[in-house]
């Protein structure tokens, strides 16, 4: 039986740890001033690696804010944090490998999210930034110039090229009008994509083989789920042209990382622009860091001032609602019993 949800908070300050809060964009956001008499937030700017370190740092906290999938809250971790009452995440979709929802429910730990979609446009913007950076070799040109060289070398343009969009949902569909503005042909594929749906969005639905085999740019826009892990596999990469590039701003686990490293090393594709990785932060010894045809960013597709200005106030709302015994945007079953305002799971 699920443990009972803990009730109205007493007068003592509720301590919250904002994990992986690089640049303290969450922990020092002015929205928290609304609760400063009742809530204390601390930013952990460095990744807490390993269960032992995580438990040691969090043992004095009742609440935790997670940043993307960087720090899993497993059953084992939660069992060692008896004071933990509330886990906050950005968004409403959960990967059970990041938060063990069943374990949280058994322990009466609420998991609450945010509704804002502010991260979708910024992720699309970064995807195009990575496309430009790889095709026009912008990072290499910048570095060479800073080192004293003046040796302009040609990049590749977009006009007349084909972009293949893997996944034509909220993110992928926003890629289409931009691609067409550059004079590109737009191909799209996903498991359940219908031809009419793609046509309405300005794209052409094609087969998996054709998308990977004919596209000059392949950009991944698929949600991470059990089904989508390894969605772009070694065979897909083998179909790509030696002049084509792969862009991934979705989640690292969606692309077979070992196969992608091999394709880049063997020059079977021309390059990759990556914002997400199978394991984050990316290890110093990872091959991606040392391949000359990669452009890498540290999972910042969502990370804009506008994103945090939209999401942090909602996190503050979640905490306030919890503290007064009326939790909102609850994402786990045990939390539904504690909500009194009819907005459970929205």
Q: Is 280 among the catalytic positions? A: yes
Catalytic residue among 68, 174, 187, 299: 299
Provide the 10 A C-beta neighbour count for residue 341: 9
**From the candidates 69, 85, 257, 280, which is the catalytic residue?**
280
The residue written with tokens 């909102």 in the block is: 328
The phi and psi torsions of 163 (rounded to 5 degrees) equal -105, 135
The Cα angle at residue 307 between residues 302 and 308, in degrees rounded to 5: 115
For the chain, give every domain's residue range. 14-117+304-336, 119-296
199 included as an active-site residue: no
CATH of domain 14-117+304-336: 3.40.50.720
Same CATH topology for 14-117+304-336 and 119-296: the answer is yes
User: Is 195 an annotated catalytic residue?
Assistant: no
Q: Active site residue: 251, 257, 314, 317, which one? A: 251
Shortest CA distance to 123 belongs to which of 68, 43, 66, 199? 68
Instruction: Give the other-Cβ count within 10 Å of 18's Cβ.
Output: 25
pTM more than 0.95:
no
Taking a C-beta distance cutoff of 8 angstroms, is the pair 167, 228 a contact? no
* pLDDT value of position 225: 86
Quick check: 39 and 319 in contact, CB under 8 A? Answer: yes
Per-residue pLDDT of the chain (346 residues; tens, 9 = 90+): 344 344 445 457 899 999 999 888 999 999 999 999 999 999 999 889 889 999 999 999 999 999 877 898 999 999 999 999 999 998 877 666 689 999 999 999 999 999 877 668 999 999 999 999 999 999 999 999 999 999 888 999 999 999 999 999 999 999 999 999 999 999 999 999 999 999 999 999 999 999 999 999 999 999 988 899 999 999 999 999 999 999 999 999 999 999 999 999 999 999 999 999 999 889 999 999 999 999 999 999 999 999 999 999 999 999 999 999 999 999 986 544 333 333 222 2
Percent helix, strand, coil in the chain, to 5, is: 35, 15, 50
- Residues 324, 329, 333: CA angle, nearest 5 degrees: 95
Q: Which CATH fold topology does 119-296 show? A: Rossmann fold (3.40.50)
């Amino acid at each position: 039986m699920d443990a009972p949800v803990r009730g109205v908070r007493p007068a003592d300050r509720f301590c919250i740890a904002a994990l992986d809060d690089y640049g303290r964009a969450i922990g020092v956001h002015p929205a928290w001033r609304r609760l400063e008499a009742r809530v204390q937030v601390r930013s952990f700017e460095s990744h807490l690696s390993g269960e032992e370190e995580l438990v040691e740092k969090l043992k004095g906290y009742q609440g935790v804010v997670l940043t993307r999938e960087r720090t899993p809250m497993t059953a084992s971790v939660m069992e060692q944090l008896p004071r933990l009452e509330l886990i906050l995440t950005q968004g409403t979709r959960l990967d059970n490998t990041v938060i063990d929802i069943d374990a949280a429910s058994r322990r009466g730990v609420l998991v609450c999210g945010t509704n804002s979609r502010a991260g979708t446009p910024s992720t699309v913007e970064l995807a195009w930034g990575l496309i430009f950076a790889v095709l026009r070799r912008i990072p290499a040109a910048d570095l060479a110039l800073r080192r004293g060289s003046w040796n302009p070398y040609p990049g590749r343009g977009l006009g007349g090229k084909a972009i293949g969009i893997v996944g034509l949902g909220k993110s992928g569909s926003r890629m289409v009008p931009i691609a067409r503005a550059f004079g590109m042909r737009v191909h799209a594929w996903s498991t359940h994509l219908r031809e009419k749906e793609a046509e309405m969005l300005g794209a052409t639905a094609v087969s998996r083989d054709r998308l990977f085999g004919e596209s000059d740019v392949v950009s991944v826009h698929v949600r991470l789920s059990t089904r989508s892990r390894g969605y772009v596999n070694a065979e897909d990469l083998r179909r790509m042209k030696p002049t084509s590039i792969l862009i991934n701003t979705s989640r690292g686990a969606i692309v077979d990382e070992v196969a992608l490293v091999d394709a880049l090393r063997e020059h079977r594709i021309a390059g990759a622009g990556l914002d997400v990785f199978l394991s984050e932060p990316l290890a110093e010894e990872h091959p991606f860091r040392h391949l000359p045809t990669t452009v890498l960013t540290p999972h910042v597709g969502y990370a804009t001032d506008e994103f945090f200005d939209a999401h942090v106030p909602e996190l503050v709302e979640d905490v306030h609602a919890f503290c007064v015994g009326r939790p909102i945007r609850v994402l786990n079953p045990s939390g539904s019993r504690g909500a009194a305002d009819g907005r459970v799971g929205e």
